[in-house]
């Protein structure tokens, strides 16, 4: 059965933190509301209730992904507050900076890198995901792309961007290798900044070079496949540059980038993931329409494999709507597999 996942030309997977459950919100709210005045014993009990709920939600989301037949299965990441959170919590010399908008009504704290990174700080992601619950051979973990970390951080501890990028890349490469040793089959590097800069007209050749430089080093991880997942912007105009980046798969935000631009390029020898499911809209996509689009891309762009995905995290929707999006993904895949 496992072999079958690798021979299918169409696939699907989730690309970020999953919508959180109301039960988790209530448990966290109780801890926050009563925690300050509670006794040590009560506080421990409230904190344990939060942990229990995170575990229950994680199991439910992992099971739902497996039932849906997704190509890769990821942790819902109920413990993290942003793609940078594991870095700021687990890597020395990196701390949380001011609060800033991320998308919609979601905020994050940008990382501040005070001084050179210590390359021994490996294993910072593990605390935020349940590796032991992910299925062998299909476990996917998300790391921020080195270029996005560089651009979205306040870097104080380096004299120039290149030396900072070199160390960030090395750190993320070490982390990816460590995750693969622990059974992870797919590393997804999240790359929103390149898409935002392209969409906003501020992307320069130098940015592409920095991204390429980083991915040359950490784009290939022995024992796993890798994806550079772009979102929050229209990358139509830079598809040729993205296609040349040495990763197995490129993720494109299909809620910002047009079909025409995706199909205008040949993706031979490269995997392509298209985020057609809008993770910030309660509108449910039509599975038949999605299947048609995916077939058109396969015919026109001929990637080695083609994945249907949400454009990014479904946490903007909450658990119930995120589950509905997962159901849409599943039904679209069923249509596609009828044609394989």
Partner 1 sequence: MSEIFLTYGTGSRPKLNARVIALRDPIAVTEAHLQEVLKYSKALNLDATEFVETIRRRQVDGQRLSPEERDILVRFNSLLNLRHEEQVGLSKRFDGEAWRPEMYAHIRDHLKGVSKSVDAIRSTGEQSYYAGICEAVPTLDDRLIAMTVEEFEFLKANTARNIGDIKVPLDGPYMLAIMTLDRYFTDTLREKYGDAPSRLKYEAKRALTLAFAEKVVKPQVETLAKAGVRWIQLDEPAATNDIEHIAIVVDGINAVVQGIEGVKFSIHTCYPNRMPFIDKKGYALLFPHIFGLDSKVNHLSLELANGDKYEEDLAPLAQHKSQREFELGVGVTDIRPQPYAPVYNVGELAELVKSRLLRAANVMGDTKGLYASHDCGLRRVPLEYSFRMDEALVKGAELARRG
Using CB under 8 A, list all residues that contact partner 1: 19-22, 25, 28, 32, 81, 98-101, 103-107, 110, 151-152, 193, 196-197, 199-202, 234, 254-260, 278, 280-284, 315-321
Comparing CB distances to partner 1, the nearer of 152 and 184 is 152
State the minimum distance, in angstroms, from the CB of residue 254 to partner 1.
7
Query: In degrees rounded to 5, what are phi and psi of residue 88?
Result: -70, -25
Per-residue DSSP letter, 273: E
Residues across the chain: 340
Per-residue DSSP letter, 283: P
Please report where in the chains the tokens 């593990």 appear, as a residue.
Answer: 126
Comparing CB distances to partner 1, the nearer of 103 and 131 is 103
State the minimum distance, in angstroms, from the CB of residue 136 to partner 1.
30
Comparing CB distances to partner 1, the nearer of 65 and 199 is 199
d(C-alpha 269, C-alpha 108), whole Å = 36
Please report where in the chains the tokens 């062998």 appear, as a residue.
Answer: 136
Q: Are the beta carbons of 35 and 330 closer than 8 angstroms?
A: no
State the minimum distance, in angstroms, from the CB of residue 119 to partner 1.
26
State the minimum distance, in angstroms, from the CB of residue 182 to partner 1.
27
State the minimum distance, in angstroms, from the CB of residue 258 to partner 1.
5
CA 277 to chain centre: 14
State the minimum distance, in angstroms, from the CB of residue 188 to partner 1.
20
Comparing CB distances to partner 1, the nearer of 21 and 188 is 21
Comparing CB distances to partner 1, the nearer of 36 and 222 is 36
Of the CA atoms within 13 Å of residue 226, those in its CB half-sphere come to 25
Q: Are the beta carbons of 16 and 190 closer than 8 angstroms?
A: yes
d(C-alpha 316, C-alpha 329), whole Å = 17
State the minimum distance, in angstroms, from the CB of residue 19 to partner 1.
6
Q: Are the beta carbons of 104 and 316 closer than 8 angstroms?
A: yes
State the minimum distance, in angstroms, from the CB of residue 290 to partner 1.
13
Comparing CB distances to partner 1, the nearer of 12 and 323 is 323
Comparing CB distances to partner 1, the nearer of 175 and 234 is 234
Please report where in the chains the tokens 């496992």 appear, as a residue.
Answer: 2
First to last CA, the chain: 16
d(C-alpha 264, C-alpha 56), whole Å = 44
Comparing CB distances to partner 1, the nearer of 248 and 285 is 285
- Residue 101: strand pairing partners: 107
Q: Are the beta carbons of 76 and 58 closer than 8 angstroms?
A: yes
């Amino acid at each position: 059965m496992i072999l079958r996942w690798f021979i299918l030309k169409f696939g699907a997977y989730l690309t970020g933190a999953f919508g959180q459950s109301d039960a988790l919100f209530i448990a966290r709210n109780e801890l926050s509301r009563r925690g300050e005045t509670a006794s040590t014993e009560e506080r421990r009990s409230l904190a344990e209730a939060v942990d229990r709920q995170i575990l229950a939600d994680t199991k439910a989301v992992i099971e739902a992904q497996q039932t849906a037949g997704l190509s890769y299965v990821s942790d819902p990441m109920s413990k993290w507050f942003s793609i940078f959170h594991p870095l700021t919590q687990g890597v020395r010399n990196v701390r949380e900076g001011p609060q800033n908008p991320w998308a919609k009504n979601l905020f994050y704290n940008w990382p501040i890198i005070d001084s050179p990174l210590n390359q021994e700080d490996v294993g910072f992601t593990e605390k935020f995901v349940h590796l032991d619950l992910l299925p062998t051979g299909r476990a996917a973990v998300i790391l921020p792309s080195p270029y996005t970390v560089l651009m979205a951080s306040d870097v104080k501890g380096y004299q120039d961007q290149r030396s900072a990028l070199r160390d960030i890349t090395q750190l993320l490469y070490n982390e990816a290798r460590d995750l693969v040793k622990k059974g992870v089959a797919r590393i997804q590097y999240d790359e929103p900044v390149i898409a935002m800069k392209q969409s906003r007209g501020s992307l320069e050749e130098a940015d592409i070079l920095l991204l390429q430089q980083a991915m040359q080093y950490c784009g290939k991880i022995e024992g796993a496949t890798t994806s550079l997942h772009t979102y929050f912007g229209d990358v139509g105009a830079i598809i040729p540059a993205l296609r040349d980046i040495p990763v197995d798969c490129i993720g494109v935000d299909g809620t910002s980038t047009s079909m025409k631009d995706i199909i205008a390029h040949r993706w031979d020898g490269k995997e392509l993931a298209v985020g057609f499911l809008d993770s910030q809209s309660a509108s449910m996509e039509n599975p038949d329409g999605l299947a048609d689009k995916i077939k058109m891309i396969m015919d026109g762009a001929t990637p080695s494999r083609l994945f249907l995905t949400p454009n990014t995290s479904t946490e903007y929707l909450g658990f119930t709507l995120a589950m509905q999006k997962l159901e849409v993904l599943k039904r679209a895949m069923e249509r596609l597999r009828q044609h394989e």
